[in-house]
Amino acid sequence: MMKPLLLALTIAGITVSTATQARLHSPHDTQRALVKAVQQLDLSAEQKQEVRALLKAVRADNHSQHGNMHAEHARRLSDDTPDAETLRAKLLDNADNWKQKKFQQAQLRHNIYQLLTPDQQNTLEQADIERHSKRAQRIKSQHGSALPRPFGLLALSEQQEQQVAELQSAFLSQAELIRSRMRQFKAQEKALVRSADFSEAAWYTLAESYQLAFIEAAVARASHRAGLLAVLTDAQRQELEVLRGAKKKHRHHPRRG
C-alpha cells in the first residue's frame, strides 16, 4: 500500500516524475483545451489545415518522448515515499523538463493565435472570459464545503469528517494564495503568448520568475492531501483511488448520446 504522501501525489496528479508544479495542466490537457477553444471559431479551410499541421507536429514530438517518460515514471513511483524536502528537491531537479513541455504548449498557442483574424481573436477572448467566470463561480460554490468532493463520497465516521474539515479549514488561506499566484502567471503568460513580443527567452524569463512559487505550491498541495489521506483507512484509500480513476476515465472518454 502506498504511503499517504506518495498516494497524495499520485491522486492529485503531482507525481515526482512529472513535476506538475502547482497542479498545472499536463501537455495533453492543455492541448485538448486549445483544440476545443479553436473548434468554436469559424475557421477557413486554410486555417484548419495550418492548425492541423501545428497540432500534428506537437503530437509527433510528444509521442517520441512518451516511451522514455513512461519508464521513468514507473521507476520513480517505485522509489521510497519522499518527504516534503525530498519532493521539493525532485521537483526542482525536474524543472527544466517541465519548462520545456510548457514552452512547447505556449509556442503552439502563440502560433495558432497568429493564424486568427482580429474578429476570431476577439471571439476567443470572450470565450476565455466566460470560461474563467464559470470556473470562478464553481470554485466559490465549493469554498464553503467542509469535505473535498471525493471525500464526500466515502462513508466517513463523524470523527473522520471533523478531522478532514479541520484540515480543509486550515488550508483555505494557503490554497487561495496558490490560486492567486497561478492566476497571475496565467494572465501574464496569456498576454505574452498573444503578443508580437513572444519569444522563447521572454517565456523562460517569465516561467523562471514563478518557478519556486510553483514548487512550493506543489509541495503544499501534496502535503495537504497526504494529511487528508492519513485520516482514511486503507480500504477508504483504495476506494478513493477507484473513484479518482473513474472520474479520470470519464473525463477522457465521456459518454456520447
Query: What residue ranges do the domains of the chain occupy?
Result: 1-15+87-112+159-257
| DSSP secondary structure letters along 168-188 | HHHHHHHHHHHHHHHHHHHHH
Lookup: cell for 53: 499541421
Q: What is the DSSP letter of 24?
A: P
| DSSP secondary structure letters along 108-120 | HHHHHHHHS-HHH
Contacts of 181 (CB under 8 A, 6+ apart): 22, 210, 213, 214, 217
At residue 251, the pLDDT reads: 57
Q: Amino acid letter at 141?
A: S
Are the C-beta atoms of 186 and 169 separated by less than 8 Å?
Answer: no
Q: Amino acid letter at 113?
A: Y
Q: Is 164 exposed, middle or buried (CB count within 10 Å of its CB: 0-12, 13-18, 19+)?
A: buried
At residue 5, the pLDDT reads: 53
CA distance 175 to 187: 18
CA distance 150 to 198: 40
Q: Running along the chain, 257 residues long, what does each successive block of 10 average in pLDDT?
A: 49 39 48 80 93 88 56 44 81 92 94 94 90 78 67 90 90 89 94 96 97 93 91 92 74 54
Contacts of 162 (CB under 8 A, 6+ apart): none
Are the C-beta atoms of 215 and 88 separated by less than 8 Å?
Answer: yes
At residue 85, the pLDDT reads: 87
Q: Is 76 exposed, middle or buried (CB count within 10 Å of its CB: 0-12, 13-18, 19+)?
A: middle
Are the C-beta atoms of 160 and 80 separated by less than 8 Å?
Answer: no
At residue 78, the pLDDT reads: 40
Residue 75: its H or E element: helix 45-77
At residue 173, the pLDDT reads: 85
Half-sphere exposure of 192 (CA within 13 A, CB side): 21
| Helix locations, 78-157, DSSP H | 84-93, 95-115, 118-143, 149-152
CA distance 82 to 79: 8
Contacts of 109 (CB under 8 A, 6+ apart): 34, 193
At residue 119, the pLDDT reads: 94
CB atoms within 10 A of CB 87: 24
